[in-house]
Structure 1
Amino acid sequence: MIDVRWVWVFLDTAEVDADRSWEFWAEVTRSRLADRRGPRDEFSTLLPRRGDAWVKLQAVGDGGGVHVDLDVEQPLPEAAAEAARLGATEVHRESDYVVMRSPAGFPFCLTSWVGAGSATTQVRDAEPDLLDQVCLDIPSDDYAREVDFWETLTGWPKRPGSLPEFVSLTRPDGIPVRFLLQKIGEPSGTARGHVDLACRDRAGSRAVHVAAGADVVSEHEFWTVMHDPGGRTYCLTDREP
């Protein structure tokens, strides 16, 4: 187990779509974009009106998707060794981060906890919706092992979801991001992820997102599948922020 103190959601977007995608996410999350940083101005952060940030943006050469950074208390070499012992693969290492892939191939980074964020600094009250969940879409052959990996790595107990194909992890107080693990119909392949927003009024949030440039992909009993202006899949869900 590693001691996770904060979780960052990264929205990785192809460079050609980055500007409009970043503007879209700033608008629908009621945030402002931090100044770009990095050698190619490839990074930014969504700064909420109140509280600490937990969503970062990265422009990549092509493709894109979602990954998470786990801020950990332990020294990074120790945390990376534990993740590897549990089945993760190390991809790249620098002094201040380690890039890894889970047993099913989902990318994540281990980063050092520097004291940002606490149990009281993510503001959830009075928000109409909140980007608060990463859903890992996992091929069925790897599902059980992947669930065990994330439960053991974080020490967050698993609990059944609302449908048989879902399991969630019980995050500690103060962690800004939920983890939902979904068994998909594909038997094999690489796990990928998408973000979910908790919505007080899903229809109202859907209208806001469509007006900002999103497309509705499909409607379900408890969630709506959307595409952002760059084609990224995400969901609006019936949950209290």
Structure 2
Amino acid sequence: MRIRWLTAFLDFPSAQFGAEVTFWRAIAGSTVSPPRGDHREFASLEPFNGDPHLRVQRIEDGPGGIHIDLHVDDPGVAAREAISLGARVVRDAAGPAYLTLESPSGFVFCLVAWEGESERSRPIRWPGDTISIIDQVCIDVPHSQFDREVAFWTRLTGRPTEATSRPELLRIARDPALAIGILLQRNDESDPSPVARGHLDLAATAVEDEVVRHEDWGARVVERLPNWTVMADPVGRRYCITDRNPRTGG
């Protein structure tokens, strides 16, 4: 399978959709596209340069969360490969345009038809000279399923893993053509979630300055760690501001 583009999708319950889109639009430094879909439930966060790599969706059921779209030449062919590696189909009623699947540990992703996206957006320099970009999805995996999940994503993407500064974190080697990378985090056995969940990571040149900017928009600090700060957006959705190079993701 050749992954032509990768999009991070924020899924919001109806009651949160408007305010949350405003928050994430501001954090990303983007505009919002006109809504689309049968129920006007989809929109893109449009960067000032490059192709969108962040999208939002209004959902009718459930608490919402994060999923990713893999843009491929033929979603049906790609789905057969993903299933052979251990994925499960969640929904295929949408027709040939996209299919919804779960990874072996339950992380939701979609295979969608590639529409020519290819230009990575550039990070934004904010007042005060901090540079940042939302550039990574971290998949939080139950401890007992971690090795299987790592094998699945390395085989699906065709990319090896890279070690990080923490043993519980493995990065899928970044494809320089893609605007979004994938990080896998092994959770402790005490983690109450039986399935994998995801959150967004920002790369920033000055984490604390970026934290202050987010607090001004209603986010709050959950935990400060040596190389990143865990945040919660105005409705409690967690994400991380990380000390990484916004241009390379490293």
TM-score class, shorter: over 0.9
Distance 2:222 2:230 in 1: 5
The residue aligned with 1:139 is: 142
How far did 1:28 drift? Answer: 1.3
How far did 1:170 drift? Answer: 0.8
The residue aligned with 2:71 is: 71
Distance 1:161 1:143 in 2: 16
Distance 2:16 2:114 in 1: 31
SS at match of 2:145: helix
2:70 maps to amino acid = L
So what's the TM-score if we normalise by structure 2?
A: 0.91
Distance 1:229 1:41 in 2: 23
Are 2:228 and 1:223 aligned?
yes
The residue aligned with 1:212 is: 217
2:71 maps to amino acid = D
1:53 maps to amino acid = P
Paired residues for 1:178-217 under 5 Å: 178-186=181-189, 189-217=194-222
2:216 maps to amino acid = A
- Segments of structure 2 that go 5 or more residues without pairing to the other structure are none
Q: Retained in 1: the 8 A contact 2:124–2:132?
A: no
The residue aligned with 1:8 is: 7
2:87 maps to amino acid = A
What CA deviation, in whole Å up to 9, does each residue of 1:184-221 have, x standing for no partner? Answer: 01367100000000011111110010001111111111
Distance 2:223 2:123 in 1: 27
How far did 1:98 drift? Answer: 0.8
SS at match of 2:4: strand
**Superposed CA RMSD:** 1.4
Distance 1:53 1:206 in 2: 24
The residue aligned with 1:92 is: 91
- Segments of structure 1 that go 5 or more residues without pairing to the other structure are none
Distance 2:231 2:125 in 1: 23
How far did 1:125 drift? Answer: 7.1
So what's the TM-score if we normalise by structure 1?
A: 0.94
- Counterparts in 2 of 1:125 and 1:60: CA distance versus 1, 3 Å: closer
Q: Retained in 2: the 8 A contact 1:20–1:230?
A: no
SS at match of 2:26: helix
Distance 1:203 1:125 in 2: 16
The one of 144, 152, 155 aligned to 1:152: 155
Q: How many residues align?
A: 237
What CA deviation, in whole Å up to 9, does each residue of 1:6-25 have, x standing for no partner? Answer: 00100011111111110001
Q: Retained in 2: the 8 A contact 1:122–1:174?
A: no
Are 2:239 and 1:234 aligned?
yes
Distance 1:40 1:98 in 2: 18
2:115 maps to amino acid = V
